[in-house]
Amino acid sequence: MKIKEFIVVEGKDDTTAIKHAVDADTIETNGSAVNEATIEKVRRAQRTRGVILFTDPDYPGEKIRKTIAEAVPGCKHAFLTKEAALGKGGKGIGVEHASPEAIRDALKDAQMMHETISEEISQEDLLTAGLIGGEGAKERRIMLGDLLKIGYTNGKQLHKRLMMFQISRQEFAEALLVVRQEEQNE
């Protein structure tokens, strides 16, 4: 599988994992303190071939994603679940631990975040759906993020991410239905 866009990753081990999964070029941030030279590289890549941000599903990875997305609009975003990114024996979490299949799936599902945010889903909808506050909300957000391919977020960020990815009421309702069915099957 050939990827046209540059894939922004955190380090060398991530690049190695990407190369085992797909034919693509990467840009490494070398940690969460993203410097101006790296931002300039990403800007150039975005202008020429496009960019997919593919960081670890943890706090530093989200910090890198946010920093670059703010500095370089129009990037696509690919997400791994924490389970797919978990190292052997539960040691570490990151792109470098993911299987080639999980990496290909995440890259295939890469989506664009939009600057213009239309509010189809309200905070009240999230509260009613049991996605913020209350028992089991975190687990439901994890499942919802996986189903919608928007990654995991805390309660405060979920609304913003749904809006940025322009998730429709119908997509939201369908994913929520699956979440509720999964809960009943447990």
Q: Where does a domain end: 81, 112, 143?
A: 112
Query: What would the pLDDT profile of 122-151 be if each residue is shown by its tens digit?
Result: 889 999 999 998 899 999 999 999 999 898
As beta bridge partners, residue 8 has: 27, 53
Residue 20 CB burial class (10 angstroms; 0-12, 13-18, ≥19): exposed
Q: How many whole angstroms separate alpha carbon 28 and alpha carbon 8? A: 6
pTM: 0.74
Q: Which domain holds residue 77?
A: 6-112
Is residue 186 over pLDDT 80? no
| Of residues 58, 170, 171, the one with CA closest to residue 111 | 171
Q: 77-95 pLDDT, tens per residue?
A: 999 988 889 877 778 899 9
Q: What is the mean pLDDT of the chain?
A: 91
Query: In this model, does residue 114 exceed pLDDT 70?
Result: no
Indicate the residue among 63, 78, 112 that finishes a domain. 112
Would residue 156 count as lying in a domain?
A: yes
* Count of structural domains within the chain: 2
Give me the pLDDT at residue 117, please.
Answer: 57
Token code pair at residue 6: 């540059």
pLDDT given for residue 152 in this prediction: 87
Domain containing residue 82: CATH number:
3.40.50.140
Question: Which residues share a beta bridge with 112?
Answer: 76
Give the C-alpha distances (Å, rounded to integers) separating 58 from 62, 67, 137, 152, 173: 6, 14, 18, 9, 27
pLDDT at 89: 75
pLDDT reading at 159 higher than 80: yes
